[in-house]
Amino acid sequence: MSSSQYETYGPMYETPEPYGHGSGYGYGYGYADTYRPAYEDPAYANPACEDPAYGDPAYGDPAYGDPACEDPAYVDPAYVDPACGEPAYVEPAYESAAVDEGRPGPEGPTLPRQVPPTLETPRPGGRVEARRAARRRRSAERPDVRRLLPQALVVAFLAGGTTAFVADDKAIELNVDGKPRTLHTFADDVTELLADEGVEVGAHDIVAPGPGAALTSGDEVAVRYGRPVRLTLDGQRSRVWTTARTVDGALRELGVRAEGAYVSVPRSRRIGREGLALDVRTERTVTVMADGRARTVRTNAATVREVVADAGITLRGEDTLSVPSGSFPRDGQTVMVMRITEGQEVREEPIAFDVWRTEDPGLFRGTEVVERPGRPGLRRVTYALRTVNGVKERPRRLRSEVVQVPRTQVVKVGTRPLPTSVQGADSLNWQGLAHCESRGRPGAVDSSGTYGGLYQFDTLTWRGLGGAGRPQDAPAAEQTLRAKKLYVRRGASPWPHCGGRLHG
């Protein structure tokens, strides 16, 4: 190092240590050999202990100075002077003779203590010269380890640390929601990178490559945030998530056919992290039937009423549609327009009368006589008439009112037992007469309505015989009884064409 470099690091080396600078590399083999005077320690600048072979006394090392300051543990046996064993400069591991040879000391294993077998008194003035000559000889034979070792270790440390530092550093391109930036990171995977950069992701966000993927320099990491969309698609509401940043991108991501569709907001609008509400109506095909003609239209209308208007059809008066006009039109749907005409009609309808029957012991059993005929009432009813596409529907009753109240009919019912025979007429062929007159039918009535029953009585004759009501309404037995009475009175003359059957 140059003197300027030492000036730069000057404050680091201002603290004196027993064996030169405290570099940690041996005993006294620091950088003190080449210090400028600015770094000398006055404690070691005693000219009496300096070795002239190593330069200016200001840079002296007392460990190699005057024999009075020499450490016997490091002195060649040929140059030891018993007067120079200065304990102040002896390594603690070697200060006591009680330390066993080969026992580890604080810094490592101890070396055998070198004790010369014999001590000779050197000639005056010859010890220092001999020692200096030996040192010069050893210095010439090998490099100055004291100077090279610390420098080599520092360079190796810096070189290795820089290599490891450069190897762990990665250049990554991070794109967060469309905002790219290049950064340097020591992260090993995507999860660690996002944590270091403070990027939080949720369940609806997309990270590529996925979390946990290993990173190498030059990789690209993309983060796309999810955005909630309250989507109403063709009338169906749902909540979906998208990572697109615009409405148009969201439609593509959700697979919505946007061609010809109605979109409630501009497609170029950006979607924030908070999301938005979106109404989309895709284009559909709807057929409208009206006035005997079919019209097919492509539309994105919201209601069937709008589809009919798009087809050029006008609804008038009571016209209606086959489906609710406010419903959402479906693709392929057929809508019929029904032309309706309405009106009213008033009708008079009869009201049937009730019949009240009373028992009459003066009448033969099975005989009923209408004492008071009933009379039907009259009701006026108003109906609504409706015609759909020319076809009349069943009238719908709107209201009614009674114009005439019906009168109850009163009928007497006979309870008198019928006679079993009529003297002088029981043996006649009444069955033959009845067959000839009415084909044997008790309710038979002639074409003029004058005669009725088995024996074709007129009403006047019937009542003259004690009958009530009409003869055709009476039981067959009563009719036969009245016919026998008539025969007793007038013979067979009442039956000019069939009377002969009585004796046949």
pLDDT, residue 138, reads 57
Whether 180 contacts 174, CB under 8 Å: yes
Query: What is residue 422's predicted lDDT score, i.e. its pLDDT?
Result: 78
Neighbours of 161 (CB within 10 A): 10
pTM beyond 0.85: the answer is no
For 463-493, write each residue's pLDDT tens digit. Answer: 888 888 899 998 898 899 889 989 888 888 8
CA distance 59 to 169: 45
Q: What is the pLDDT of residue 132?
A: 58
Segment 44-63 mean pLDDT = 42
Query: Which domains does the chain possess?
Result: 3-146 (no CATH), 169-224 (3.10.20), 227-281 (3.10.20.30), 284-338 (3.10.20), 343-411 (2.20.230.10), 420-503 (1.10.530.10)
Mean pLDDT for 288-309 is: 93
Residue 164 contacts residue 149 (beta carbons within 8 Å): no
Predicted pLDDT of residue 47: 43
* Cα pseudo-dihedral 320, 324, 328, 334, rounded to 10: -60
Q: What is the mean pLDDT of residues 182-207?
A: 92
Give the mean model confidence (pLDDT) for residues 30-36. Answer: 38
d(CA 308, CA 46): 119
pLDDT score of 204 more than 50: yes
Looking at residue 259, its pLDDT comes to 86
Q: Which of 165-169, 191-195, 380-384 is predicted least confidently?
A: 165-169
Q: What is the pLDDT of residue 489?
A: 86
One DSSP character per residue, 43-105 reads: GG--GGG--GGG--GGG--GGGS-GGG--GGGS-GGG--GGG--GGGS-GGGS-TTSPTT-B-
The whole-number average pLDDT for the span 16-21 is 38
Residue 283 has pLDDT above 60, yes or no: yes
Mean pLDDT of the chain: 75
Residue 157's identity, in one-letter code, is: F
Task: Tell me what the mean pLDDT of segment 370-386 comes to.
Answer: 94
β-pairing verdict for 276-281 and 284-290: unpaired
**CA 103 to CA 330: how far, in whole Å?**
100
Residue listed under structure tokens 């400028």 = 36
pLDDT digit string (tens) for 217-270? 999 999 999 999 999 998 899 999 999 999 999 999 989 988 889 999 999 999
**Region 386-414: what's the mean pLDDT?**
93
pLDDT grade, residue 57 (50/70/90)?
very low
**Is residue 357 within 8 Å of residue 413, measured between CB atoms?**
yes
C-beta of residue 72 within 8 angstroms of C-beta of residue 93:
no
d(CA 256, CA 229): 13
Decide if pLDDT at 349 tops 90.
Answer: yes
Task: Supply the pLDDT for residue 503.
Answer: 85
Distance CA 190, CA 221 (A): 8
Average pLDDT over residues 61-66: 43
Q: Name the percent of the chain in helix, strand, coil, to the closest 5.
A: 30, 25, 45
Q: Would you say 425 and 484 are in contact if contact means Cβ atoms under 8 Å apart?
A: yes
